[in-house]
């Protein structure tokens, strides 16, 4: 427990430039508070004290605005930035050194008592408002853009954006933990840009055909004029 708490504090210092002291983390960071409640509720859950685990989790939700089911499995170095509105379901699994921003949902798509929530690999970053729904895996070192809705498996070292989420970068090793929202590609804008480029090429071809048609018309007119002169002479 102490080792996990040290890793949680270290994660805050590593990923939040606004932090200034350990006391600030302990007293002013709801993400850290949520992890304290989670560690206790998860311990109770594993001891088959499910009601007490849910009750401690509920208190943590009330105080922090972050809902983590005590049955979820979370690795060390986990960091929730701001945190309000984060929901982590019962069968969710989160690897080491992952980062979630506010409004993230790790949700399920089934009512069956089975694995129904996502699994995050190591070093995964999930942007604010993103929804990851279903019992699939998000690969190591992947990034999920803000407000994306991910409903199928994500390969390692991938970047996903959009609704539904689409892989726009794959196999690119990430350095550091910043999501850099402003640098994420926009697949819809890219598709529209490709359509505009195609339209421009078609317009250029139409202009070229019009010019060729004008040349052919001029030559045809000269040919007809010559024939008319020949007929007149005859």
Domain boundary assignment for the chain: 2-180, 186-234
Query: Which of 192, 127, 121 shows the shortest CA–CA distance to 161?
Result: 127
User: In the beta sheet, which residues pair with residue 149?
Assistant: 131
Q: Residue 221 pLDDT more than 90?
A: no
Q: What is the pTM of this model?
A: 0.74
What digits encode the pLDDT tens for the residues 136-170?
999 999 999 989 999 999 999 999 988 888 888 77
Give residue 125's pLDDT: 93
88 sits in the region (left: phi over 0; alpha: psi -120 to 50; else beta) called beta
Using one digit for the tens of pLDDT, what is the confidence trace for 186-214? Answer: 666 777 878 888 898 899 899 899 988 88
pLDDT at 193: 78
Is the bond preceding residue 146 a cis peptide, omega within 30 degrees? no
Burial class (CB in 10 A: 0-12, 13-18, 19+), 210: exposed
State the CATH class of domain 2-180.
mainly beta
Between the CA of residue 175 and those of 130, 153, 155, 179, 180, what are the distances in Å? 21, 22, 17, 10, 11
Please give the mean pLDDT across all residues of the chain: 87
Residue 97: closest CA among 140, 40, 52: 140
Average pLDDT for 176-191: 62
Per DSSP, the three-state class of 67 is: strand
DSSP-derived secondary structure for 207-221: HHHHHHHHHHHHHHH
Tokens (6 digits) for 94: 């989160």
Residue 177 pLDDT: 46
Chain centre to alpha carbon of residue 98: 13
Annotate 119-134 with DSSP letters as a single string.
EE-TT-EE-TT-EEES
Q: Which residues lie across from 131 on neighbouring strands?
A: 105, 149
Determine the pLDDT at residue 227: 75
Q: Which residue has the higher pLDDT, 55 or 180?
A: 55
Closest residue by Cα to residue 142 from 107, 91, 108, 100: 100
SS3 20: coil
Q: What is the pLDDT of residues 16-75, one digit of tens each?
A: 888 899 999 989 999 999 999 999 999 999 999 999 999 999 999 999 999 999 999 999
């Amino acid at each position: 427990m102490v080792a996990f708490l040290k890793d949680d504090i270290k994660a805050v210092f590593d990923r939040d430039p606004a932090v200034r002291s350990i006391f600030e983390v302990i007293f002013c960071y709801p993400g850290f508070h949520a992890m304290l409640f989670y560690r206790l509720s998860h311990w109770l859950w594993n001891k088959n004290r499910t009601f007490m685990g849910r009750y401690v989790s509920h208190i943590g939700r009330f105080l922090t605005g972050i809902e983590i089911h005590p049955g979820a499995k979370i690795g060390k170095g986990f960091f929730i930035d701001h945190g309000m509105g984060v929901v982590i379901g019962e069968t969710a699994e989160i690897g080491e050194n992952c980062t979630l921003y506010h409004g993230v949902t790790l949700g399920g798509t089934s009512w069956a008592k089975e694995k129904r929530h996502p699994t995050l690999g190591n070093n995964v970053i999930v942007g604010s408002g993103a929804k990851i729904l279903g019992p699939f895996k998000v690969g190591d070192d992947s990034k999920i853009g803000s407000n994306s809705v991910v409903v199928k498996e994500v390969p390692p070292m991938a970047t996903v954006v959009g609704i539904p989420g689409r892989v726009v970068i794959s196999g690119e090793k990430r350095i550091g933990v910043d999501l850099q929202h402003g640098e994420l590609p926009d697949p819809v804008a890219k598709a529209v840009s490709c359509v505009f480029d195609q339209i421009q090429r078609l317009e250029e071809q139409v202009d070229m055909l019009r010019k060729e048609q004008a040349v052919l018309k001029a030559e045809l007119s000269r040919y007809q004029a010559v024939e008319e002169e020949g007929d007149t002479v005859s």
